[in-house]
Amino acid sequence: MNNILIKHFIVGLIIFSNFSFGKEFSELFTIYEPIENSTKIDKSINSSFNNMVYRLSGTNSPSNVWKIINSGASRKEFIISYAIKNIEDLSYLQVKFDQDLLISKFNDLAIPMIGYSRPVIFFLIEIDSGTENPYYLSSNQSEKFIDIILQNALNQVSKSRGLFLELPVFDLVDKKNIANISILSDIEGLIASKYKYDVLKKIKLINNGLNEWSFTGDINQNIAGSNFQIELQKKFIAYIESLADQSLSELKIDTSEETYLYLSIFGVTSYDDYIRSRDELNRFIAVSDIEIISFKNKIITYKVNVKGSVEALKNEVEANNFLDNMSNNKNEKNLNLLYQK
């Protein structure tokens, strides 16, 4: 069991290493689904579609899956490609979904959705085994089995729900500084100075005796029994799933609401700039029906249809690596963006 958990943890790090410390979930429409063998591809495809709907809608309720199926659509029609990927001796079906088709279906069925902008929830987890000095869990250290359980749970939910569940990365200097800090607020200050996040969760996991552990802080749970490792993982996953529900619900785009605005992109100096900035604009879930109004003085202006609120669009812009919001006014009909090369 230890080897399986370790392999899953390593896979999680490989899949999500390019997402760390950012807010744009770049592979939003790609699902990595565990697969036993090639005879189980159809089962994995069905499961990957369900997880894609959960990720895009921000909820793991099956009701949205059935809305789509009952509309006459099949799961496979939303797939661009799929392939089996072997990572650290584990097989995954990599399924790439058609963004435009999925968004169109969500719009037709008035299903709220969430774009590439995803929250970052940062975890400061102190572990006290009772036999060694307490320590803080990091993403670059997993010497103990309890570390693997927690890290694996964070990677699992991050992958399935499409949000950032981060742990600190401690170097030798950090470890020395933490060893000399006795006040929790000072440790929080060290974390806050190094990382960007939307929510900070402080948790302590304490060993109370043989096969007995307890969560305190932002979680209050007791775990006991011979299967405490399985129960600990279940309760921790249930907790972070509830955090995901809460965090993602605040970012949902209500597709039943529509408005329009004039969106200007500054700094477009070449045809390549135009293509790249237009591609970035097309990635925004909240934007549709893009119409060019003018292109002069390195500024291209569009009239766009916006699903949901303008604030939802601004959230997507905030997470984008190539477009920056230049607008400080409250004019809801105009939005100025700067193209960053």
Q: Is residue 95 in some structural domain?
A: yes
Report the percentage of the chain scoring pLDDT > 70: 88
The string of DSSP letters for 273-308 reads HHHHHHHHHHH-TTEEEEEEEEEETTEEEEEEEEES
Pairing of the two strands 221-224 and 258-266: unpaired
The more confident residue out of 162 and 90 is 162
Shared domain check, 152 and 63: no
- Rounded Cα distance, 176 and 235, in Å: 32
Say what the pLDDT of residue 341 is.
79
Shared domain check, 216 and 165: yes
Give SS3 for 263: strand
Shared domain check, 275 and 192: no
Shared domain check, 237 and 157: yes
Q: Is residue 21 in some structural domain?
A: no
Shared domain check, 244 and 300: no
Q: Is residue 113 in some structural domain?
A: no
| pTM for this predicted structure | 0.81
- Side-chain-side CA neighbours of 292 within 13 Å: the count stands at 9
Q: What is the pLDDT of residues 105-139, one digit of tens each?
A: 998 999 999 988 888 999 999 999 888 888 889 88
Say what the pLDDT of residue 169 is.
86
Shared domain check, 262 and 245: no
Q: 323 with 339: CB under 8 angstroms?
A: yes
Shared domain check, 237 and 127: yes
Q: Is residue 22 in some structural domain?
A: no
Q: Is residue 136 in some structural domain?
A: yes
Say what the pLDDT of residue 182 is.
60
Among 183, 180, 179, 178, which Cα is nearest to 168's? 178
Shared domain check, 199 and 286: no
Say what the pLDDT of residue 310 is.
86
Say what the pLDDT of residue 185 is.
58
Residue 285 has φ and ψ, to the nearest 5°, of: -65, -35
Q: Is residue 15 in some structural domain?
A: no
Number of domains in the chain: 3
- Rounded Cα distance, 308 and 341, in Å: 29
Q: Is residue 7 in some structural domain?
A: no
**For residue 203, pLDDT beyond 70:** yes
**Alpha-carbon torsion, ordered 62, 311, 118, 195, to 10 deg:** -150
Say what the pLDDT of residue 29 is.
95
Say what the pLDDT of residue 22 is.
37
Shared domain check, 133 and 236: yes
Say what the pLDDT of residue 2 is.
44
Domain boundary among 88, 108, 128: 108
**For residue 264, pLDDT beyond 90:** yes
**For residue 300, pLDDT beyond 70:** yes
**For residue 14, pLDDT beyond 50:** no
Neighbouring C-beta atoms of residue 105, cutoff 10 Å: 18
Task: Tell me whether residue 182 is exposed, middle or buried, using C-beta atoms within 10 angstroms of its C-beta: 0 to 12, 13 to 18, 19 or more.
Answer: exposed
Q: 207 with 130: CB under 8 angstroms?
A: yes
The more confident residue out of 263 and 258 is 263
Q: Please state the separation of Cα 204 from the chain's center in Å.
A: 24
Q: Is residue 166 in some structural domain?
A: yes
pLDDT band at residue 329, thresholds of 50, 70 and 90?
low
Domain residues for 136? 120-249
Domain boundary among 46, 79, 108: 108
Domain boundary among 201, 230, 249: 249
CATH code of the domain containing 283: 3.30.70
Shared domain check, 264 and 244: no
Q: 49 with 75: CB under 8 angstroms?
A: yes
Residues 6+ apart with CB under 8 A from 246: none
Q: What is the pLDDT of residues 231-247, one digit of tens each?
A: 999 999 999 999 999 99
pLDDT band at residue 4, thresholds of 50, 70 and 90?
very low
Shared domain check, 96 and 139: no
Shared domain check, 203 and 146: yes
